[in-house]
């Protein structure tokens, strides 16, 4: 029997590129070619590749302790939780290894809160069309996209889907078994769609009236990606829980659930846990990352530069015949095109050494490092203008 071409399972449609080095906004392949990386590890390397402050903190931690279990106190974990709660609307934090695990924990916490604190038999979580919440059995069941769920039947029970940004559909939001709603304020994987303010206002109002928990999936929108530390801060309400991952650790695997105290108390000892979640290396990376982000000039600079990027993008997209729409928030940007977005992404890589992503079949997604410079932005604008002119 012949051996497969690779012993790694073929779960990824990989680009024909092997990356070996990264620094700031750039990566290099195994042939020494340099690329401007506007994927940031899929919205993960928010401070760029190998940010010096994070690298120094990790190097120091490597010389001390790599791992211990959560049976013991972990100083960097406590400090990271302190910072996350200080700069958000939440009181307590649970750490995991990934975004999917963070969403799993949030779903469990919502159900346990309903059943042990409220003393009800509620269990249902309502999510919304085009969402993406992960690839575990629970989180793909929460994800309202058939292509993500295909081949994994039966889905886990306890989830119901409503159309995103549909005010009339909110009339069907509440059922006796409903305990929570879960959504992204900008749907990164689902096409870079923003929650409309009027729809969110009504959704929040219904949830408050019927005592439903509001879970905001900030895995892609959090950690400065939209111009504020968290996207919910731009919508005028406080969720009961948010989930984080991606940009929290500057590339080190970490996820988190942030919750209000009255909800967090539903997690008592032995109700949830993780061997690696919140370990010294991951939380050291997270602590160094957020410490950098809450410096006084960081987010204002992100906002100013992203506004500049948007102004330039609007100028070229208005003129491009193949561009259907430009949408997003901060440095989470979607450009809807007439043809296949992957063709644009491939051409950008091959012709301009520019790395981009897709978000569905017809949306080019740009998620640069938050530290990208105006010089780099100008380069990207020039390449995109050429790209649109030839398609």
The enclosing domain of 380 has a CATH number of 3.90.1150.10
Please indicate, yes or no, if residue 5 is contained in any of the structural domains: no
Name the stretches of the chain with pLDDT < 70: 1-3
DSSP structure class, residue 153? P
Last residue of a domain, one of 267, 293, 319: 293
Please indicate, yes or no, if residue 337 is contained in any of the structural domains: yes
State the residue range of the domain holding 213.
52-293
Query: CA-CA distances (angstroms) from residue 147 to 131, 143, 144, 155, 334?
Result: 12, 10, 9, 13, 20
Q: Does residue 277 share a domain with residue 350?
A: no
Question: How many structural domains compose the chain?
Answer: 2
- The backbone region for 192, taken as left when phi is positive above 0, alpha when psi lies in -120 to 50, beta otherwise, is left
CB neighbourhood size of 203 (10 A): 24
Which helix (H) or strand (E) element contains residue 328?
A: strand 323-329
pTM for the model stands at 0.97
For the chain, the C-alpha Rg in angstroms (whole number) is 21
Q: What is the model's pLDDT at position 2?
A: 67
Q: Does residue 248 share a domain with residue 124?
A: yes
Q: Does residue 265 share a domain with residue 217?
A: yes
Q: What is the model's pLDDT at position 146?
A: 94
Q: What is the model's pLDDT at position 4?
A: 73
Please indicate, yes or no, if residue 62 is contained in any of the structural domains: yes
Last residue of a domain, one of 252, 274, 293: 293
Q: Does residue 25 share a domain with residue 58?
A: no
Please indicate, yes or no, if residue 9 is contained in any of the structural domains: no
Last residue of a domain, one of 293, 312, 344: 293
Q: What is the model's pLDDT at position 162?
A: 98
Q: Does residue 153 share a domain with residue 206?
A: yes
């Amino acid at each position: 029997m012949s051996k497969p071409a690779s012993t790694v399972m073929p779960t990824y449609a990989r680009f024909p590129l092997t990356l070996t080095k990264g620094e700031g906004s750039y990566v290099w392949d195994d042939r020494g070619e340099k690329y401007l990386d506007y994927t940031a590890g899929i919205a993960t390397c928010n401070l760029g590749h190998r940010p010096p402050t994070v690298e120094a903190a990790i190097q120091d931690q490597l010389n001390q302790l790599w791992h211990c279990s959560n049976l013991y106190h972990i100083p960097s974990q406590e400090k990271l939780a302190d910072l996350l709660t200080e700069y958000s609307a939440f009181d307590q934090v649970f750490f995991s290894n990934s975004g999917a695990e963070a969403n799993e924990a949030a779903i469990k916490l919502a159900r346990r809160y309903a059943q042990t604190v409220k003393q009800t038999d509620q269990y249902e979580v309502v999510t919304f069309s085009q969402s993406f919440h992960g690839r575990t059995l629970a989180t793909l069941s929460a994800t309202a996209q058939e292509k993500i769920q295909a081949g994994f039947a039966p889905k886990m029970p306890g989830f119901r889907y409503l159309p995103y940004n549909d005010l009339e559909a909110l009339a069907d939001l509440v059922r006796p078994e409903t305990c929570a709603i879960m959504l992204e304020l900008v749907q990164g994987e689902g096409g870079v769609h923003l929650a409309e303010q009027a729809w969110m206002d009504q959704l929040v109002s219904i949830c408050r009236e019927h005592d439903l928990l509001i879970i905001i999936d900030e895995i892609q929108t959090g950690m400065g990606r939209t111009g504020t530390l968290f996207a919910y801060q731009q919508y005028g309400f406080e969720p009961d829980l948010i989930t984080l991952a991606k940009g929290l650790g500057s590339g080190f695997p970490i996820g988190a659930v942030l919750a209000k105290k009255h909800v967090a108390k539903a997690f008592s000892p032995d109700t949830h846990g993780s061997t690696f979640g919140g370990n010294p290396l991951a939380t050291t990376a997270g602590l160094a990352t957020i410490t950098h982000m809450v410096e006084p000039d960081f987010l204002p600079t992100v906002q100013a530069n992203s506004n500049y990027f948007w102004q330039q993008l609007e100028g070229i997209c208005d003129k491009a015949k193949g561009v259907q729409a430009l949408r997003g928030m901060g440095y989470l940007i979607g450009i809807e095109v007439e043809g296949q977005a992957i063709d644009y992404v491939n051409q950008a890589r091959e012709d301009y050494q520019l790395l981009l992503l897709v978000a569905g079949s017809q949306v080019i997604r740009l998620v640069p490092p938050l530290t990208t410079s105006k010089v780099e932005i100008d380069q990207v604008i020039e390449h995109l203008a050429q790209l649109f002119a030839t398609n």
